[in-house]
Amino acid sequence: MLKNTQPIEKQTLHNHSTLDVHSLFYTIQGEGPFAGHPAVFVRLAGCNLQCPMCDTDYTSDRSMVDAHVLAAKCYQLANPNRAVSKTLVVITGGEPFRQNLREFVVHLLNDGFLVQIETNGTLYQNLPWCEDLTIVCSPKTGSINKDLLPHIDAFKYVLSADSISPFDGLPTKALDHPNSGRVARPPIGFSGTIYLQPIDNHGGVLLTEHLDACVKSCMTHGYTLGLQLHKLINLP
């Protein structure tokens, strides 16, 4: 099994609006609260963590793109003649909060998009918080940025059968990140959705033991099962 060797890149919040972009594509969102929805994916380059089991390329073929130009490209990809009133844009990575997102997010919201940001929860920046902006946190370390915590709408955990807490059914490690045996939990009283999805073998094939463990944990503790729909239908 391949091991992620992409380098760690720290948060760099430049004053300018240019973003370091890995890729931009139109697909079906396969995970989290918008699973099944058509979406424009903006994968930003670089991550402040280096999870050994991460199977995503977020460092090659990157380019600097102005926030206004990037928002215009999202509009073109989304098809202006779409039947639904608001199309989803998913900002992912890497780690999106590593870069200055504010101007790009403002452009998207002003253009009428729904915006979802997928984050590992360790970084923060002030954004135009509103009902059209959804934050999905997939913790890998033992803590979540305290300023980001109030804005998190959903938690998403990747689960393997050999690393499950007997107390709450959530993982004790995530993608083999060295987190001292603890992955951050949702705060007490969290009212959003907690998703569990089984880790795969980097080839999009679910291993039965991980899937069975996920199903058992969801049924025992009331979490929501996620199955990375985009992989099941062979989309990026």
pLDDT tens column, 58-111? 999 999 999 999 999 999 998 776 766 689 999 999 999 999 999 999 999 999
Q: How far apart are CA 212 and CA 210, in angstroms?
A: 5
Instruction: List for the chain the helix, strand, coil content (%; round to 5).
Output: 20, 25, 55
CATH of the domain at 71: 3.20.20.70
> Mean pLDDT across the stretch 26-36?
95
pLDDT for 204 equals: 47
With CA atoms as reference, report the closest residue to 221 among 178, 190, 182: 190
Of 119, 134, 157, 153, nearest in space to 11 by CA? 119
> Is residue 162 very low, low, confident or very high in pLDDT (cuts 50, 70, 90)?
confident
Compute CA distances 61 → 24, 140, 151, 206, whole Å: 11, 25, 32, 28
**102 inside domain:** yes
- Asked whether residue 13 is assigned to any structural domain, the reply reads no
Instruction: Please give the tally of structural domains in the chain.
Output: 1
The mean pLDDT value for 148-176 works out to 92
Whether 106 maps to a domain, the answer reads yes
Q: How would residue 232 be classed by pLDDT, with cut points 50, 70 and 90?
A: confident
Q: Is the pLDDT reported for residue 175 higher than 80?
A: no
pLDDT, tens digit, 9 for 90 and up, residues 100-135: 999 999 999 999 999 999 999 999 999 999 999 999
Tell me the average pLDDT across 18-34.
Answer: 96
Give percent above pLDDT 90 in the chain.
Answer: 75
CA–CA dist 20, 65 (Å, integer): 6
**Residue 24 placed within a domain:** yes
Contact 137, 143 (CB under 8 A): no
73 found inside a domain:
yes
For 198, the enclosing helix (H) or strand (E) is: strand 193-198
Assess if residue 111 is contained within a domain: yes
> Cα 219 from chain centroid?
24
Q: State the residue range of the domain holding 39.
A: 18-158+173-196
